[in-house]
Amino acid sequence: MEKRATFGSLMKYGALLGLALIIIALIDIYLKNFIAHDTSLIFMLLKAAAYVFFIYCAIRFAVKYLYAANYSFSKGVKVGLFVGLIAAVLITVYQYIEMKYIIPDVYQERIEIAIEEMVDRGVPEEALGSVNAMMPIGSIIGSFLQALLISLLASLFISPFFKKQQPKNFNNEQINNEQIDN
């Protein structure tokens, strides 16, 4: 029962990370369309901070409630990747909705620019038709893999900061004093 509750809690951290990244993306779209400033660096840093914060919270939760005495680096990385997987699924669904309904013209412009660059390089016309069909799928798969990679990097960065609780070490003098007392 407790493992299911913890598993659900870790899923909540992934969902919160995904939701935070979607909100950041929506704010970025709004600012780019209505204010027309280049905010890509600011929002890239905000996304990185969201990954670090939510993966840190998830690993801290797992250390406290799931792996209390037997935490290891690899378990921390697994927790971070699991949280990142949940967030990646949400981001992928959001990006598909964004591509089809929110700002489809931006993606169509990207496809046209990519096709023009390929024509300039001398790519045959037959290959351009498949590129036009594959571009949205490649973008979605790329965002999924990017989210997993960032989660892995954040997990690798955060996991070493948590240590498992080591039993208290006694030196010979303390052992001798305890034997005398008994």
- Please check whether residue 172 lies inside any domain of the structure: no
Query: CB under 8 Å to 74, separation ≥6 — which residues?
Result: none
Q: To the nearest 10°, report the CA torsion of 62, 66, 68, 72.
A: -60
55 contacts 17 by C-beta, under 8 angstroms = yes
Residue 131, CA distances (Å) to 8, 28, 116 in order = 40, 27, 11
What predicted TM-score, i.e. pTM, was given to this entire model?
0.74
Please give the residue range of the domain that contains residue 60: 2-165
Phi, psi of 171 (to 5 degrees): -95, 175
Q: What is the DSSP letter of 89?
A: H
Residue with tokens 């690993």: 59
Q: What total number of domains does the chain contain?
A: 1
**Could you report the per-residue pLDDT of 161-179, keeping only the tens digit for each?**
886 555 455 555 555 555 5
**Could you report the per-residue pLDDT of 78-137, keeping only the tens digit for each?**
999 999 999 999 999 998 888 888 777 777 777 777 777 777 877 777 766 666 666 677
- Please check whether residue 176 lies inside any domain of the structure: no
Q: What is the DSSP letter of 103?
A: S
Give the whole-angstrom CA distance, residue 50 versus residue 78: 18
Q: How many CB atoms lie within 10 A of CB 176?
A: 11
Q: Phi/psi zone of residue 86: left (φ > 0), alpha (ψ -120 to 50 degrees), beta?
A: alpha
pLDDT cut 70: percent of the chain above it: 77
- Please check whether residue 103 lies inside any domain of the structure: yes
Q: Highest mean pLDDT range out of 21-30, 49-58, 111-120?
A: 49-58
Element (H, E) at 28: helix 2-34
What pLDDT is stored for residue 22 in this prediction?
93
